[in-house]
Amino acid sequence: MQKLIEYMSTLIDDGLVVAFSGGVDSSLLLKIATKLGQAKNIPVYAVTFETNLHPKADLAVAKKVASEVGAIHDIIFIDELTCPEILSNSKDRCYYCKRFLFETLIDYAKEHKLKCVIDGTNFDDLSQYRPGILALKELGIISPLARLEIDKATIRNYAQELNISVYDRPSAPCLATRIPYDTQLNMDVLKRIDEAENFLSDLGFIQNRVRLHNDIVRIEINPEYFDSIISNYKNIISHFKKLGFIYITLDLEGFRSGSMDIFLEIESYGSNSVKNNF
């Protein structure tokens, strides 16, 4: 962790804002930044985007963690669906979305005279389909975790060492990842998916995805919970039907990130030419 602390200390003096989702990655960065800032009497800023594409639970978590670490926390509402390239949900949606969000954050940084804008992209992200990483590079966003080759498991260990309350919180990517590419995004559908995932979480299936393929809902949970979800099937079917879903299925491959990307020709973002620009 010392290398991360030392690197973050080089950014504090010029003013710093963290793109803060409330997830473990950005929470670790914000915790370290605020500790360094407090030692130098320099305020550290965190900005959370309230958007139509992110689970509603994220905002409450972000407020809680920002308060715990003592950051100046601002929330900016952005409607990504006003951007046609995002609304159409092409395979490059994440690129356009990152540009849309972070151009706003750059304006915020300029207004507050903050030189450094940082985000929680980690080293694992560089080997997955993440077109938004190119947008971060183009905009000059700093990603300390990716730059220092810190992976998710290490991040969780560091966060636990620092007593960060969300150290074990599952990742919560944007709701557009629940819909096949080139299917136009619809707010009503995304809200119903969010409600369905929250319902499963309340039942104890904390790590889950509800993905929609036309009339078919595909539930992803870890295989060790299959027996439990089957025992709850009547409750789940009843609730999902009330939400307007027609065919409700359990994916036997279980939970996995990026399952909507399997038909894409995956481009690696882990090359030195990209990594060294964070």
Q: Which two tokens stand for residue 37?
A: 């800032």
CA atoms within 13 A on the CB side of 176: 23
C-beta of residue 268 within 8 angstroms of C-beta of residue 111: no
Q: Which two tokens stand for residue 169?
A: 């919180």
For every one of its 278 residues, what pLDDT tens digit does the chain have, with 9 covering 90 and above?
Answer: 999 999 999 999 999 999 999 999 999 999 999 999 999 999 999 999 999 898 887 899 999 999 999 999 999 999 999 999 999 999 999 999 999 999 999 999 999 999 999 999 999 999 888 899 999 999 999 999 999 999 999 999 999 999 999 999 888 889 999 999 999 999 999 999 999 999 999 999 999 999 999 999 999 999 999 999 999 999 999 999 999 999 999 999 999 988 988 877 544 444 343 444 55
C-beta of residue 262 within 8 angstroms of C-beta of residue 220: no
Domains of the chain: 2-172+267-275 (3.40.50.620), 175-256 (3.30.70)
Q: What is the pLDDT of residue 271?
A: 39
Residue 117's nearest CA partner among 93, 94, 96, 101 is 101
In one-letter notation, the amino acid at residue 99 is R
Q: What is the pLDDT of residue 262?
A: 83
Q: What is the pLDDT of residue 10?
A: 95
Q: What is the pLDDT of residue 129?
A: 87
Phi, psi of 116 (to 5 degrees): -105, 125
Q: What is the C-alpha separation between 274 and 278, in angstroms, rounded?
A: 7
How many beta carbons lie within 10 A of that of residue 264, not counting itself?
Answer: 12
Q: With helix as H, strand as E and coil as C, how does the chain read?
A: CHHHHHHHHHHHCCCEEEECCCCHHHHHHHHHHHHHHHHHCCCCEEEEEEECCCCCHHHHHHHHHHHHHCCEEEEEEECHHHCHHHHCCCCCHHHHHHHHHHHHHHHHHHHCCCCEEECCCCHHHHHCCCCHHHHHHHHCCECHHHHCCCCHHHHHHHHHHCCCCCCCCCCCCCHHHHCCCCCCCCHHHHHHHHHHHHHHHHCCCCCEEEEEECCEEEEEECHHHHHHHHHCHHHHHHHHHHCCCCEEEECCCCCCCCHHHCCCCCCCCCCHHHHCCC
Q: What is the pLDDT of residue 277?
A: 52
Q: What is the pLDDT of residue 131?
A: 92
User: Which residues lie closer than 8 Å to 200 by C-beta, 6 or more apart?
Assistant: 208, 210, 219, 221, 236
CA distances to 1, 154, 168 from 160, rounded to whole Å, are 12, 10, 8
Q: What is the pLDDT of residue 269?
A: 43
